[in-house]
Chain A
Amino acid sequence: MNENYNVEVIRKDFPILKKSVYLDNGATTQKPEQVIQRLNHYYRNENANVHRGVYKLSQLATEAYEGARSTISRFINCSEKELIFTRGTTESINLTAFSLVEPLVKEGDEILISHMEHHSNIVPWQLVCKRTGALLKVIPVSDSGEIEMDSFETLLSDKTRFLSLTHISNVLGTINPIKEMIESAHQKGIPVLIDGAQAIARTKVDVRELDADFYAFSGHKMYGPTGIGVLYGKKDFLEKMRPYQSGGDMIRRVTFDKTTWNDLPHKFEAGTPDIAGAAALASAVEYLESIGMDNIESYELSLLDYAEKKLKAIEDLHIMGNPEKRAALLSFTMGDAHPHDIAHELSLQNIDVRAGHHCAQPLMNRFNVPATTRASFGMYNTKKEIDILIGALPKIREKFKL
């Protein structure tokens, strides 16, 4: 780990962290002052509609919005035309399902996902299948919480039209071998979407190096605001795809007989966008870059390593899955104590963790648990905070012992 990584300096940028031990970063991250200031600055000094006015303010707003696109596209290594602003990962996946996949599939065709997907990477595909007669196929997950690669290769059939896969599991923390899987899919001509919601703030993402056809993520899970997210898509696909929503900004010419679409990326951005959100998301990206994704990754992994060892030492505590490559989040069960009772007791001690099915009910069923407790770490968490969590657990185990 980089010796220059000073977590205390980082924590000063996040005043909200004084309120509690926040270990629910898989759900959403806190926002640094720089991001909050950016929102504030936009509304105080730059607010107008984009791509329209000839006046100065509109120009400033447009620069804030398009400048954000430029910053974020550089961050993931794509062209600005390939970066579509959405409301978040969920909308990015729905957009791809509607605009690309639905017109592409017919009865009997197959869409492939894995058993460890979040509901937002399951339900949009189920709806496409329902409307088209296509079939949803699911790659099994092993007891250790990893994709079963042999089954994956078998499931990639000549009927498979699309593969949609999470980069990092929001429940198990498993980092999937997506580069290898994208390559296998491409060998059979199958396009791939990667759900990067959990990955984007935890590891360096280079969409060209991955050769992903689509990559979806949310701003609020990468220290940016809620309500803004991104869909990266390869230009060749985006150009051929039908629009998702229609209205202002996404058109070139409108008559009552015929309408033509605007160029990329505007074709997929109908209506006035979340200008302030985009600008603040760019600030979050700059913040991440100033610390360095490699530094964040190695720091978080040191937290994970520490937490894993300490948790395993607690009697009756079982961590779900044991993948070879795991990001800094884990789910566990503990003795007879129900996750909701655990989370409730922790919250009384100002420790914020998530309890429930984590929007991944099929995965819960796979592991035969109704719910788990999840601790997910961020770049600002400390070993001291992990000690506080660990210190609180044994008493809770005792209290709810049957």
Chain B
Amino acid sequence: MRDNDLYQELILDHYRNPRNCCSLQHPTHSASGDNPLCGDQLDIYLNVDGDVINEITFEGSGCAVSQASASLMTEHLKGHTIEEALKVFDKVHMMLTGLHPDEVNPEDEKAMGKLKALSGVAEFPMRVKCASLAWHTLKSALKNCEENKISTE
């Protein structure tokens, strides 16, 4: 059933019990994102030490897909470097939009771990924006980070 592809138990679990769902008191980086068509809204907070994401959290409201995607993202990226996070962003983007499936090598696939639960979204073009909101918001937060770096150097 296509139905099960989108709302896998893992997605519903992260929707019901979102991980890292809180704000950070003194984030090094943060960004807000919204999807005006749906009314979904998210804030992403990061504490980055050097290049490493020590803490990453989110707060917001939206559909099960957007909430679960944000929760899975925070769980996956904690402890990774910014460079790694941006690589994951690209892979997730490809997965959600169903692009270049041939280019995914088995090792990459393994590295995606639980994020693969989001792959069902590719079947539903109207829901891609729900799943990608957290990721675009993350990218915007990291971009701010780079800009900050540039301005402080």
Chain B nearest CB from A97 CB (Å) reads 23
Q: How far is the CA of A402 from the CA of B12 in the complex (A)?
A: 9
Q: Does the CB pair B3–A348 fall under 8 Å?
A: yes
- Once A338-B62, A338-B63, A340-B38 are accepted as A-B contacts, the answer to whether A345 and B3 lie under 8 Å apart by CB is yes
Q: Name the B residues within 8 Å of A242 (CB-CB).
A: none
Chain A nearest CB from B69 CB (Å) reads 13
- Once A338-B64, A341-B63, A400-B64 are accepted as A-B contacts, the answer to whether A370 and B39 lie under 8 Å apart by CB is yes
Q: Does the CB pair A344–B127 fall under 8 Å?
A: yes
Q: How far is the CA of A95 from the CA of B2 in the complex (A)?
A: 46
Q: Name the B residues within 8 Å of A402 (CB-CB).
A: 15-16
Q: Name the A residues within 8 Å of B3 (CB-CB).
A: 345, 348
Q: Which of A353-402 contact B (CB under 8 A)?
A: 355-357, 361, 364, 370-371, 399-402
Q: Does the CB pair B61–A370 fall under 8 Å?
A: yes
- Once A356-B38, A364-B39 are accepted as A-B contacts, the answer to whether A340 and B130 lie under 8 Å apart by CB is yes
Chain A nearest CB from B4 CB (Å) reads 10
Q: Which of the listed residues A355, A370, A401 has the most CB atoms from chain B within 10 Å of its own CB?
A: A370
Per-residue interface assignment for chain B, residues 16 to 29, with 1 indicating a CB less than 8 Å from any chain A CB and 0 otherwise: 10000000000000
Q: Does the CB pair A340–B127 fall under 8 Å?
A: yes
Residue in chain B with minimal CB distance to A348: B3
Q: How far is the CA of A401 from the CA of B40 in the complex (A)?
A: 18
Chain A nearest CB from B38 CB (Å) reads 5
**B137 at the binding interface (Cβ < 8 Å):** no
Within 8 Å by CB of B2, from A348, A355, A400, lies A348
Q: How far is the CA of A146 from the CA of B36 in the complex (A)?
A: 26
Q: Which of B122-142 contact A (CB under 8 A)?
A: 124, 127, 130
Q: Which of A9-66 contact B (CB under 8 A)?
A: none
Per-residue interface assignment for chain A, residues 315 to 346, with 1 indicating a CB less than 8 Å from any chain B CB and 0 otherwise: 00000000000000000000000111100110
Chain B nearest CB from A352 CB (Å) reads 12
Q: Does the CB pair A356–B37 fall under 8 Å?
A: yes
Q: Name the A residues within 8 Å of B89 (CB-CB).
A: none
Within 8 Å by CB of B41, from A356, A370, A401, lies A370
Q: How far is the CA of A399 from the CA of B9 in the complex (A)?
A: 10
Q: Which of A63-98 contact B (CB under 8 A)?
A: none
Q: Name the B residues within 8 Å of A357 (CB-CB).
A: 36-37, 39
Q: Does the CB pair B7–A399 fall under 8 Å?
A: yes
Chain A nearest CB from B117 CB (Å) reads 16
Q: Does the CB pair A341–B65 fall under 8 Å?
A: yes
**B85 at the binding interface (Cβ < 8 Å):** no
Q: Which of the listed residues A340, A357, A364, A370 has the most CB atoms from chain B within 10 Å of its own CB?
A: A340
Within 8 Å by CB of A341, from B41, B61, B64, lies B64
Q: How far is the CA of A371 from the CA of B34 in the complex (A)?
A: 13
Q: Name the B residues within 8 Å of A361 (CB-CB).
A: 36
Q: How far is the CA of A19 from the CA of B116 in the complex (A)?
A: 32
**B88 at the binding interface (Cβ < 8 Å):** no
Q: How far is the CA of A340 from the CA of B35 in the complex (A)?
A: 12
Q: How far is the CA of A355 from the CA of B2 in the complex (A)?
A: 20
Chain A nearest CB from B119 CB (Å) reads 16
Chain A nearest CB from B58 CB (Å) reads 16
Q: Name the B residues within 8 Å of A400 (CB-CB).
A: 12, 15, 64
Q: How far is the CA of A370 from the CA of B127 in the complex (A)?
A: 17
Q: Name the A residues within 8 Å of B127 (CB-CB).
A: 340, 344
Within 8 Å by CB of B63, from A340, A348, A364, A399, lies A340
Q: Name the B residues within 8 Å of A355 (CB-CB).
A: 38
Chain B nearest CB from A208 CB (Å) reads 39
Residue in chain A with minimal CB distance to B15: A400
Residue in chain B with minimal CB distance to A370: B39
Per-residue interface assignment for chain B, residues 29 to 68, with 1 indicating a CB less than 8 Å from any chain A CB and 0 otherwise: 0000000111111000000000000000000011111000
Chain A nearest CB from B131 CB (Å) reads 11
Chain B nearest CB from A329 CB (Å) reads 19
Taking beta carbons and an 8 Å cutoff, which residues of B are in contact with A? 2-3, 6-7, 12, 15-16, 36-41, 61-65, 124, 127, 130
Pairs A-B, 5 closest by C-beta atoms? A370-B39, A338-B63, A340-B63, A371-B39, A341-B63
Cross-chain pairs A/B with CB under 8 angstroms, 13 sampled? A340-B38, A340-B63, A340-B127, A340-B130, A344-B124, A357-B36, A357-B37, A364-B39, A370-B62, A399-B7, A399-B12, A401-B16, A402-B16
Taking beta carbons and an 8 Å cutoff, which residues of A are in contact with B? 338-341, 344-345, 348, 355-357, 361, 364, 370-371, 399-402
With A357-B37, A371-B38, A402-B15 given, name 16 new contacts (CB 8 A): A338-B64, A340-B62, A340-B63, A341-B7, A341-B65, A344-B124, A344-B127, A345-B3, A348-B2, A355-B38, A357-B36, A357-B39, A364-B39, A370-B40, A370-B41, A400-B12
